[in-house]
Each structure stands twice: as structure tokens, then as C-alpha cells.
Amino acid sequence: MGFVMGHYKTNLRDIKFNLFEVYNTQEYMGVGPFADMDDDTARHMLDEIDRFAKDEFAASFEEGDRVPLELVDGEVKLPEGLVNSIKAYYEQGWDTITRPPALGGVGAPNSLRWAIQELVVGANPAAFFYVVGTLMANVLYEEGNEKQTEWFVKPMLDNAWGGTMVLTEPDAGSDVGAGTTKAIPVDEEQGVYHIEGVKRFITSGEGDYADNIIHLVLARPEGAQPGTKGLSMFIVPKYLVNEDGTMGERNGVVATRIEDKMGIKASTTCELTFGADKPCVGYLVGMTHDGIRQMFKVIEHARMLIGTKAIATLSSGYLHALEYANERVQGADLTQMTDKTAPRVKIIRHPDVRRMLMMQKAHAEGMRALLYYTGWVQDQVKLHPDEKHWVKLDDLLLPLVKGYSSEKAYELLAVSLQVFGGSGFTKDYPIEQYIRDTKIDTLYEGTTAIQALDLFFRKIARDQGQTLTSLAGQILEMVKGGPEELAVERELLGKALDDTQGHLGVMVGHLMMAQQEPTGLYKLALHANTLLESMAEVTIGWLMLRHAEVALEALPEADKRDVAFYEGKIASARFFTRHALPKTKVRREAAEQEDGTLMDMADEAF
């Protein structure tokens, strides 16, 4: 049975609000690296991708979930509708959004690119994962040599070849440095190796969606040091490429299993075996043994993409719940519940339903604000390449976008379902699929705990807190002054900032203690996730108050349709500061009271 209503609901108005009213991206379109883009073109592209995402691209969302994928002799045939969605993406030229201008790209700012990707990845995440070969081509263009550009990068872009990132191994999991896949030199001068090993959980690792698939594989050359520093990155094509650029014979990389998953079922999550029945040829990327740094260019984009996917899905889930709450009539108003003759009301009039809707609205808008602020920061990286602060700020924000958004979206999609009552538990509505498809976001590209440890050790401690201090200073400026209408909210933001800084201080204390007593790291790690949550919520609270200030300024001149939108932005900010930010105090107190006894407890006692 199909969905009673259309699957994908977008919030293009909020996207445009972020881009053009809060971050004013139109002011630097046509400038420097964005010289080929202008405001009118950007707005037109958003209108078109919004239509495309909801129609052609979203069309196979349900089919992809319902039609099982099968692996037969190392090949996977995708459902016809899914292939049509993928083809339509390329035929309409949306892959040019992420291409570098030198290879036919449109020169879009990162903020606009993320807006376009939000609309598409939310419409059909499994389908979108098949079209990220452009990302792999971009990395190869930056990291590969001239020959590799001719052999692989240009054909990937011109012929819509697929691309994958290949890190995980069955026994290593998230411990990438423990990987045992080998690279045996065949012609070191030409960078030719034979790859041997098994990798697992490889997204889009097989399928008939492309004529060729280029795998970017981390492997350890013979004699290389242990750990991540000993890994190199190799180009491993499904089909070899001949000297004249034509397609050659099948390479020795084969899908030996596809996972039977809880959700996002149309995505072929593969086990890939290299060099089992025939040699698997791999080409050293750029002729340099610098694999983990090179691969992190893919990983960082993928982490941002997963946060974007989570935000887009929650937003659609909320809009479905909102529509249902405005249509479903059930029960009397709470003030008339004892009157058996009282008229029945739409469930949006019930306090608990309104509370649930506002939780979804405020968080979806808040996480989108964080996403586009990060996109704006990435634009500044390109506009001001000599100002290293922007790169560090982008690095600091990334685990917040990925870690917080993925956790919160999964949690709140259950609230979306709750608004529907029993109807939400059926396949008549897409919410149950959203929940199944979104759980993976907390696991993809490093679990939330990995994001939290990355945030503390790499983005804060290694930087000696300089970038975080700068960000906190901007937040503090807002706390100090602004519109009188938001005075209470600014005070709540200030308290949350203090609590989060206190939480961080506890963590730094544990880190210092660990220099004499290593178990201090246990206490730190027990509260790393909650630090990530608090940092994300304080940053989001700050951004939402910025949004509220913009909305307050716009209200006097707004037309009738926009009045409700701007009032909703102000309401979201007020709700978030009152209901989310006070949790920072509880997290700080828990960190302060940590005694570490959980780690002393016997395993058998669990």
C-alpha cells in the first residue's frame, strides 16, 4: 500500500531565510571564487531542485524500501524506479553543483551546495548515495596526478561513474588503523599495486547504477608502519581502464555480501573482497603514501552530508505531523472535556500535541541554522584563504552538525510518529521508514562518541581552546545586549553558556589529571557526548536568537503570509531557549559529580 500523502515535504522558505536573510549569501555571489554565480540564478536553482526533489527524485523512495536487493554472482540489480531517479539527477545536470569550476562546475558557494543537497538527500537518501561519485572525483582531482585525472576523474564526471569510500574492515570496525588490507607493489614507479583483503559496510559498493565504480581504498603497503599513519589510499576501479581510455576487463574486486539492514534498504551496503580469485589492481593516489589525510577529505564531507540528511528527514517528518494535526479531529478542547456535547477539535488544539510539534519545529529549524552557519563559514574559507580561523571554526562545528543532528533527528522522529498515534505505526505514512532510515546517521562516518572525542581532543584541546573561545565571545556579545523582546531568552543563553564552559572546565581537569592517573580519561569520556550536546545547543540557541532578531526587524514590512513565518521563527527561538538550554546545567552537574565508579564495576555485574 502506498503512502496516503506525498512522501517528501520541504521547507524551502526556511532555507531561503537562512541563505538570503540571515547569512546574506547574495552579497558575495559574483565575487572571487563565486564569480560565476548570482543571486537570481541561485534562487532559481533552489526552486527547481525543490520541485525535482519532491517529484522525480523522491518517486522511488518507497519502492527502494519495499523491493529487496539481491546479490547474484557479484552483481546487484537495482529497482527500476531507483535507477530512474539516479538517471534523472544526472540528466538534469545537478551533479555540476559539486564539481569544481575547472571541470564544468557552476561555482556555487558551499552554503548553496548544502541547501541543494539538503533538498535532494532528504527526498531519497539511498538514491543520493549513488550519485556521490562527484565527491570522489573532486578528491581525486585535488590529490591525484595528471594521469589519474585523465583516466579516472574526467570519466567519472563525464560518464556518471559511481564512487565509494572504502575504510571499514570486519575485525577493525571504527578502529581504522587496525586494518589489515594489504597493498603489494607491482610497479612502484607507476604506483601500481595489488590489493588483498576484505572491507565491510561499503555504501554503494555494487549495483547497475553506473558503467563503472571507482573505489577509494585504504590499504597498508607491505612494510608500512602500523596504525593510521601506515595507510595509503588507492584507486580501485570495478572495471580497469585501458591506455586509450576505453573500459577494460573486470578488476579483482567483488561484492561478496550485501547487508540485510533495518533501513535505507535501497542502498547496497557491501562486503567487498579484493584479490581473492584474480589480482585486484590499485593505483596509489597522487603517488604519495598519505592515505588517512587524503581520505579525511571524503570523510569530512560525508559527516556533513549525514548531518544534512538527518535534518532534512526530521523536517519532513515534522511537516507531515503538522499537516496531520491540522486535519485530524479528535476529542474536545481540554477546557471543555467534561462537557460531552462540546465540539470535537483538531488535535493541534491539544496541549501535548502542540508541545510535540514545537519540539520538532524548534529543533529542525535550529539544526538547519547550524548547518547553514557552517556552510557560511565554509564560504568564508574560500573568500578569505589567508585567514586560518575560518578553517578551524569549520572543523569545530563539523562534529556538532553530524553528531548532534543525527542523534536529535532520530529521537524527534519518534515524536513525529507520536503525533499520528496508531496511524503513524503503519506504512500508510512515511514516518516509520524515516525512523528506520535515520538511525544509521548516528553510526555512519563515526559514531556519536567518536564525534564527541574528536570534538574534545582534536578540535578543542589541540587548538588550546582558541577557536572555541572566539565562538563563545560572539555568543557572549549577544547575551550582553539586543532587542528588549528577547531579554529573557538572552539571559537563558548566558546561563547555558556558563554551564557549558563549566562542563568543559571539568573535562579539562580530567585531562590534566590523566597525566598522572590515566583513568582520568574514563571520567572525561563518560561525559564527552553530553558536552557535544551542550555545545551544539548553546550554538543553536545563539543562532536561533539571531534568526529571531532578523524576524523582529522584518515583521513590520512583512506581507500576511510572511507574518506567520516570522512569528514562528521568534516562537521557535523562545521555545528552544526555555526547553533545551536549561539541560546544560544538568549535564554540567553530572560531569562535576562523576566519580568514575562505572569503570570500576565488574563486567559481570551488568
Q: So which residues are the catalytic ones?
A: 445
**CA dihedral of 573, 576, 582, 583, whole degrees rounded to 10:** -150
Determine phi and psi for 566, rounding to 5 degrees. -65, -40
- Short-list 544, 568, 566, 569, CA closest to 557: 566
> What element of type H or E holds 285?
none
Determine phi and psi for 249, rounding to 5 degrees. -80, 165
Q: Cβ distance 325 to 419 under 8 Å?
A: yes
Helices and strands, number each (H, E), in the chain: 22, 14
Residue 213 neighbours by CB under 8 Å, 6+ apart: 133, 161, 162, 163, 164, 204, 205, 206, 207, 237, 238
Alpha-helical (H) ranges within 400-527 are 405-420, 431-438, 448-453, 466-480, 487-513, 520-526
From residue 382, alpha-carbon distances to 24, 28, 34, 139, 373 in Å are 16, 11, 9, 16, 15
C-alpha span between 380 and 390 (Å, rounded):
6
Q: Which three cell numbers stand for residue 197?
A: 583483503
Query: Three-state SS for 69?
Result: coil
Q: Cβ distance 486 to 569 under 8 Å?
A: no
Q: Which three cell numbers stand for residue 217?
A: 581504498
Q: Residue 453 is which amino acid?
A: L
**What single DSSP character describes residue 226?**
S
Residue 194 neighbours by CB under 8 Å, 6+ apart: 183, 184, 186, 252, 275, 279, 280, 281, 282
C-alpha span between 157 and 301 (Å, rounded):
18
From residue 372, alpha-carbon distances to 118, 324, 509 in Å are 10, 28, 33
Alpha-helical (H) ranges within 124-180 are 125-129, 133-143, 146-148, 154-158
**What single DSSP character describes residue 21?**
I
C-alpha span between 214 and 205 (Å, rounded):
9
